[in-house]
Amino acid sequence: MAYTKNEIINMLATVADDEVEKLRQQAYSVMLENCGSNVYLRGLIEFSNICTNNCNYCGIRKSNHKVHRYQLNRENILQSAIMSMKSGFGSVVLQSGQRQDAEFVGFVCSIVREIKQITKSEMLPNGVGITLSVGEQSEETYRKFFDAGAHRYLLRIESSNPELYAKIHPGEMKFENRLHCLEVLKKIGYQIGTGVMIGLPGQTLEDLANDILFFKSIDADMIGMGPFIPHKDTPMNEEKFPWDKNRNYRLGLNMIAATRLVLEDVNIASTTSLQAIAEGGREHGLMFGANVIMPQQTCQEVRNEYLLYDGKPFLNETIDELASGVKQKVEALGRKIAFNTFGDPLHFFNRGKK
């Protein structure tokens, strides 16, 4: 069904409990109709917090010298991938700060290849599915990653409003380049994921409605978005930019519902930033139409050093505890986890058909 921008703005503006519940139910039934009730799990491996960028909102930005920088070694990453596979997750996400040097690119290619090899099993003859989230790269690099075996890529636009984008990023980070990267990723054949921050200072409901229309216009397959939560050691800290926790949380859920209603067959992640604001937030997102969760699978020793925002949850549990915890919570909602499958977004296969 095609929605106008005003209709989307009205969805996002919903605050009354009964109206929110109506929106939630509509989104949930569109999810069931288009994607079924399965929840897909992706083991999240944050393998390095070294970043050459300085996004104004991000706790691991280059200029934050309070952060202890790390890059996990090959053994550590492979171990996390194997544990994800043994937990039946079917896919992993390899995420890091942005680096474009040859050493980094070579490392990512070799680790992708090794993970594909080492996680082959009867259930997953091609190994686990691999999503990369390592920022803006050249076309040549994206092709190398793809040829190594990554088949999904997450690159959030953060805001589809170029002026707002420019306010939250330093001058050298160009909106046009982010768009170009998304186009190149699609051309290469990746399943592409993008997303935005919700509740940014100066962001209007119209901006957010435009974000959803933007996802549609670029034919995104996967959406990962969450409430803006300030980090104390950034230019967008809470002192300078007081934020309304409840509003951002509510908007986060409304955005999931509205995105489901407009985009129908995409995969939508329920992100940990919802959980950072409210206990059970990640499960709540699933009830508003999300169908993907990315349980933390980074080794415990460094998890505390990958803080894009303050109050990140799941820092102290073991990888096993996190895997079994998420299974229990999803099943308690009456949703089924799809184990040992890539869980590719149906939209990717439906592109151009609707």
From 23, 30, 44, 60, residue interacting with ligand SF4 (rule: CB under 6 A): 60
Q: Which of 251, 252, 254, 185 is nearest to 219 (CA)?
A: 185
Structure tokens at 243: 């934020």
Compute the least distance from the CB of residue 280 to ligand SF4, in Å. Answer: 26
Establish if 93 lies at the interface with ligand SF4 (CB under 6 A).
no
CB of 47 to ligand SF4, least distance (A): 12
44 binds ligand SF4 (CB under 6 A): no
Nearer to ligand SF4, 114 or 233 (CB): 233
Q: How far is the CB of 181 from ligand SF4 (least distance, A)?
A: 12
Q: Which residues contact 2 (CB under 8 A, 6 or more apart)?
A: none
Judged by CB under 6 A, which stretch of 15-23, 49-57, 181-189, 292-300 contacts ligand SF4?
49-57
- Considering the rule CB under 6 A, would residue 199 count as an interface residue with ligand SF4? no
CA distance 19 to 179: 35
DSSP string, 11-46: HHT--SHHHHHHHHHHHHHHHHHHH-SEEEEEEEEE
Cβ 34 to ligand SF4, closest distance in Å? 30
Taking CB under 6 A as the criterion, the residue among 135, 224, 227, 295 binding ligand SF4 is 135
| Residue 133, CA distances (Å) to 106, 242, 339, 344, 353 in order | 15, 29, 22, 16, 27
- Asked if residues 180 and 137 have their Cβ atoms less than 8 Å apart, the reply is no
Binding mask 279-308 for ligand SF4 (x = CB under 6 A): -----------------------------x
Q: For residue 98, state whether it binds ligand SF4 (rule: CB under 6 A).
A: yes
The residue count for binding ligand SF4 (CB under 6 A) is: 10
51 binds ligand SF4 (CB under 6 A): yes
Q: Is 257 a binder of ligand SF4 (CB under 6 A)?
A: no
Would you say 11 and 257 are in contact if contact means Cβ atoms under 8 Å apart?
yes
260 binds ligand SF4 (CB under 6 A): no
| Helices 5-12 and 205-217, axial angle in degrees (round to 10) | 120
Q: Which residues pair with 330 in a beta bridge?
A: none
- Write the CA distances from 128 to 8, 83, 269, 344, integer angstroms: 36, 11, 18, 12
| Residue of 97, 224, 230, 345 interacting with ligand SF4 (CB under 6 A) | 97
DSSP class of 323:
H
Asked if residue 55 binds ligand SF4 (CB under 6 A), the reply is: yes
Give residues in contact with ligand SF4 (CB under 6 A): 51, 53, 55, 58, 60-61, 97-98, 135, 308
